């Protein structure tokens, strides 16, 4: 049974696959934390920006050309939460999707 976040995460994974097919190699599930701009999926894939205020989340959002819209933005790609969502629920869904693809070390 598909979860409430699955379609969004699939869309996000497809965008990352198109941008960098090896992005999964950069993910560490042990340190994954969607509430942290450098430990979330985008944070781990894109790393910190040049500014000390620029997180990997912001770098990735810009690189993938995503806004905050529900139709084609950061939320619709499963990288952030929207109304009636929780970080823990979204993070659990990402871990479930990525298990078997990435390191737990």
Q: pTM for the complete prediction?
A: 0.88
Q: Which domain holds residue 11?
A: 6-98
Q: Which residues of the chain have pLDDT under 50?
A: 1
Is residue 1 situated within a structural domain?
Answer: no
**Helix/strand/coil percent split, the chain, to 5:** 40, 5, 55
Is residue 104 situated within a structural domain?
Answer: no
Q: Which residues sit opposite 103 in a β-bridge?
A: 28
- 23: closest CA among 11, 41, 5? 41
Helix (H, G, I), strand (E, B) or coil at 28: strand
- The total domain count for the chain is 1
User: Which pLDDT score is estimated for 1?
Assistant: 47
Is residue 52 situated within a structural domain?
Answer: yes
17: its two tokens = 């696959």
Is residue 103 situated within a structural domain?
Answer: no
Is residue 105 situated within a structural domain?
Answer: no
Torsion of CA 84, 2, 41, 69, to 10 degrees: -50
Is residue 38 situated within a structural domain?
Answer: yes
80: its two tokens = 């952030």
Is residue 53 situated within a structural domain?
Answer: yes
Residue whose structure tokens are 């999964």 = 24
């Amino acid at each position: 049974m598909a979860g409430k976040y699955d379609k969004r995460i699939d869309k996000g994974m497809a965008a990352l696959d198109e941008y960098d097919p090896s992005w999964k190699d950069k993910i560490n599930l042990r340190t994954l934390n969607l509430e942290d701009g450098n430990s979330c999926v985008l944070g781990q894939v894109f790393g910190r920006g040049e500014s000390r205020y620029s997180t990997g989340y912001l770098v990735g959002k810009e690189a993938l050309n995503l806004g905050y819209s529900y139709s084609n933005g950061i939320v619709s790609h499963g990288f952030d939460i929207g109304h009636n969502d929780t970080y823990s629920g979204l993070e659990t869904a990402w871990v479930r999707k990525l298990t078997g693809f990435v390191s737990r070390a």
